[in-house]
Amino acid sequence: MPEIKPECSQASGPQKIFSWPYHRYMSMYRHSLEDPESFWATEARKLNWAQQWEKVLEWQPPYARWFVGGKINASYQCLDRHVKTWRRSKVAIYWEGENGETRTLSYSTLFREVNQCADVLLKLGVKKGDIVALYLPMITELPVFMLACARIGAVHTVVFSGLSAQSLGDRVNDCKAKVVVTADGGYRRGKIFKLKQTADITVNSCPSVEKILVVKRTGEDVPMVEGRDYWYSDLIDEDVHYVAPEAFEATHPLYILYTSGTTGKPKGVVHSTGGYLVFNHSTFKWIFDIREDSVFWCTADIGWVTGHSYAVYGPLSHGAAIVLYEGSPDYPTIDRWWDIIEKYSVNIFYTSPTAIRMFMKYGEEYPARHNLSSLELLASVGEPISAEAWCWYYKHIGQEKCPIVDTWWQTETGGFMIAPSPGIEPMPLKPGSATLPLPGIDVAILDAEGNELGTNQKGYLVIKKPWPGMLMDIYGDSELYKKNYWSRFKGVYYPGDYAMRDEDGYFWLYGRADEVLKVAGHRIGTAEIESSVAELDEVTEAAVASRPDEVKGEAIVLFISLKTGYKPSDDLKKAIVGHIRKNIGPIAAPDEIYFVQSLPKTRSGKIMRRVLKAVASNQGLGDLSTIEDQESVTEVKKAYEALKGCTRD
């Protein structure tokens, strides 16, 4: 690992830390773009294929099919190949319950549990291609069910356990899941949340669901419907040790994961088996530089893509030991995470800027109470990390000896796209920059008209070539897939982010360019909240903007105009918040609600989001010089003044 010494005392802006030529990365990157097929074929050979592919890539824009003709099994990749070696007795998962319970699973125990689980699914009639929804807390059964689905070719769709019944129902109905797996409950901040009851509310309105499997976690009584609901533990056959992993086509879907976009409903991102695994396996190694004896901890909930790619498939496909923690970062004490790092001697730690900002606020005395000397590498994901947070992380968690890898990617990309890659070659770091694109990732920054921009010019990030981890489609909505990612700029993938490339070729990511918010690292579409609020009788129209928040990054501000006859009140505010929590989940609850006479709109009827944002964040309108039409500048200014006046009341 290189010695990296940022001048964190002057952490106010981008700064260059260290500089040396990085030939290995450069030559790998060049080769990957000149001959992507041979490059990715070499990477793919690192995995265990049941059948070799015939074609590395079939590219019929905008659809990419990777390793066509190849057959592979994801659960074999993550388990069987390890239990055939000494790794059978190696720790796969150190699990830490919020209430202090612990479990340590070796690869052979995990293997047995996955096989028994696959047997249960088969007994319930789950077949290749069936969709299984996993609505579970962060317990070991969650990766077990994912790998069991993968073993038999069922497609899992994990639904974050903090999402509401309605959100679960929307997802289950969209993909027509046949089985829902949930738990009697889970622990969050010392309290039990009743997952089975929440799932019940939903499942009654989900005609596709035939069975509900319930994992015991809290031991509380839960209502069970005969013939539909089963305790998972009752179905496990202890005599089963092996269910043969069938080899599936590389293009067989491994999972669907719902994420928010600019439409009112979350969309189901479909990932392949072969391409996804190749991308996941290689990027995990490049970025985390994993060693056989590393203990790896990704704090993300498995309900999100980070948990899929880098808490489950990536580390397990490398036979790594992972930490899985069930609960809140600061419960029951503020130093819970630092305690876990010390307890398991974690070497590689992957978390989000929002968590770092929260711990910064608590103060450095909490990590200082712990021996964090096992740490070797720190990583960040989910939103831009400021130079200040980067340096705090570097100094107080990494104790000025761990590189910080800021990783830019998305649910749709399946894995890292722009990030330092110490596993290829140590490279200079700059606090706040995700540094360089990974091999195979051909990036550019465009202006609004699609012209490529030069250095130090902020614009729209695009990816010019397909990569193996790229989503295959949006489940059941190919039109949306084409429109969302491939129509903004001709022939290139548009992720929806602003970025800039500096004079060293380093990338600076500036967040979303569309109507998607990042609240505490969670991706939330403004349209989702707006359409939920519009269901209320009192509401004529609603629009969401955000304001900067010290910990969460962005806070949600809701503007609402009421129907005649309804008056703003605190009770109404509470009812609106309650409605959103019930409809989407607590993560989408607004921080502030403004009642306004009417929403600011252009003559063509479009909501002036710029005005809302300026009012929400109590800032001016900024530079209006890019708006050519002088009349609309006047219009924007007028709307801003009117709305500001209105919200002050």
Instruction: Name the site residues for ligand PRX (rule: CB under 6 A).
Output: 259, 305-306, 381-384, 406-411, 434, 495-497, 509, 511-512, 518, 523
Query: 161 near 141, Cβ under 8 Å?
Result: no
Q: How far is the CB of 360 from ligand PRX (least distance, A)?
A: 17
- Cα distance between residue 450 and residue 487, in whole Å: 11
Give the separation between CA 62 and CA 574, rounded to whole angstroms. 45
Give me the least distance between CB of 418 and ligand PRX, in Å please.
Answer: 8
Q: Which is nearer to ligand PRX, 216 or 609 (CB)?
A: 609
* CB 335 within 8 Å of CB 366: yes
Residue 481 β-bridge partners:
none
Cβ distance to ligand PRX smaller for residue 383 or 515: 383
DSSP 269-316: EEEESHHHHHHHHHHHHHHH---TT-EEEE-S-TTSHHHIIIIIIHHH
Cβ of residue 461: shortest distance to ligand PRX, in angstroms? Answer: 9
Q: Which is nearer to ligand PRX, 179 or 434 (CB)?
A: 434
Q: Which is nearer to ligand PRX, 160 or 594 (CB)?
A: 160
Nearest to ligand PRX of 83, 471 (CB atom): 471
**Complex with ligand PRX: residue 126 or 257, whichever CB lies closer:** 257
d(CA 413, CA 425): 23
Q: How far apart are CA 479 and CA 171, in angstroms?
A: 18
Q: Considering the complex, state which of residue 109 and residue 411 has its C-beta at the smaller distance from ligand PRX.
A: 411
Nearer to ligand PRX by C-beta: 107 or 508? 508
Find the shortest distance in angstroms from Cβ 509 to ligand PRX: 4
Contact (Cβ atoms closer than 8 angstroms) between residue 14 and residue 502: yes
Q: Which residues contact 383 (CB under 8 A, 6 or more apart)?
A: 352, 353, 354, 511, 518, 521, 553
CB-nearer residue toward ligand PRX: 252 or 518: 518
Q: Which of 276, 263, 264 is nearest to 155 (CA)?
A: 276
Rounded to the nearest whole angstrom, what is the least distance from the CB of residue 639 to ligand PRX in the complex?
Answer: 27
Residue 418 φ/ψ, nearest 5 degrees: -125, 120
* Cβ 498 to ligand PRX shortest distance, Å: 9
Shortest spacing between CB 323 and ligand PRX, in angstroms? 19
In the bound state with ligand PRX, the residue whose beta carbon lies nearer, of 222 and 471, is 471
Structure-block tokens of residue 162: 């903090």
Minimal distance in Å, beta carbon 359 to ligand PRX? 18
Q: How far apart are CA 330 and CA 341, in angstroms?
A: 13
Widest Cα–Cα separation across the chain: 77
**Could you tell me which residues are beta bridge partners of residue 179?**
132, 211
Distance CA(402)–CA(377), nearest Å, equals 5
CB 350 to ligand PRX: min, Å:
11
> Residue 588: which residues within 8 A CB-CB, separation 6 or more?
519, 524, 528, 529, 532, 556, 580, 581
Q: Least distance from C-beta 543 to ligand PRX, angstroms? A: 21
Minimum Å distance from CB 287 to ligand PRX?
11
Question: How many Å apart are CA 523 and CA 511, to the nearest integer?
Answer: 11
Closer residue to ligand PRX, CB minimum distance, 59 or 498? 498
332 cis-preceded (ω within 30 degrees of 0): yes
CA distance 429 to 507: 11
Instruction: Closer to ligand PRX by CB, 97 or 384: give it.
Output: 384
Which among 275, 318, 274 is positioned nearest to 298, based on CA atoms? 318
Residues 463, 442: contact at Cβ < 8 Å?
Answer: yes
| In the complex, minimum distance from the CB of residue 305 to ligand PRX, in angstroms, rounded to a whole number | 5
C-alpha 136/C-alpha 119 separation (Å) is 19
